[in-house]
Every structure is written in C-alpha cells, then in structure tokens.
C-alpha cells in the first residue's frame, strides 16, 4: 500500500472510530468531534488550544450544511 493510501485509510478509520460512538455512525456530533480532537491532536502545539469554545468554532466551520453534525465529506475537507 502506498503512503497516500495508508494516509487515506487512517483518516477514514479515525472518522469511523469517533463517529461510531452514538447511533449516527456516519456523522460526528459536537461531543464526538471534541473527543477526536482531544485524542488525535494531543501534541503541545494543539493541546493548549483544545477547549469547548475552540471545538464549537471548529464544528461551526466544518458543518457546511448546518445540520449540527459533521459528515465524512465535511471532515475530509478539513484534513485535506
């Protein structure tokens, strides 16, 4: 598997791991997005910036269709 394929698989796996925490397995709620950010962006550069207000701001920017959740298309635009 190429580096790019591995990266894509990793992104999909991370999304599915956190989106699967509730009954809507294809979308991230605000809480799930917060958990994803806290767990996956834990380096010092990010850790100090992770608070509920910042997570809400990220959610607002990612949630393009304004349904209160982030689907994979919206999430992938963030990590691309």
Mean pLDDT of 12-40: 90
Tell me what pLDDT residue 18 has: 96
**pLDDT exceeds cutoff 90 at 76:** yes
**The pTM is what?**
0.83
**Residue 25: CATH number of its domain:** 1.10.238.10
The per-residue pLDDT for range 43-62, each reduced to its tens digit, is 887 777 777 788 889 999 99
The tally of domains found in the chain comes to 1
Question: Comparing C-alpha atoms, which of 79, 13, 74, 8 is closest to residue 41?
Answer: 79
| Domain housing 18 | 3-79
pLDDT grade for 25, boundaries at 50, 70 and 90: confident
**pLDDT exceeds cutoff 80 at 28:** yes
């Amino acid at each position: 598997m190429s580096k790019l394929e591995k990266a894509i698989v990793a992104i999909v796996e991370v999304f599915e791991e956190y989106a699967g925490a509730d009954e809507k397995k294809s979308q991230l709620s605000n809480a799930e997005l917060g958990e994803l950010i806290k767990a996956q962006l834990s380096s010092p550069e990010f850790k100090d910036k992770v608070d509920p207000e910042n997570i809400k701001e990220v959610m607002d920017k990612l949630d393009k269709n304004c349904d209160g959740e982030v689907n994979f298309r919206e999430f992938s635009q963030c990590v691309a």
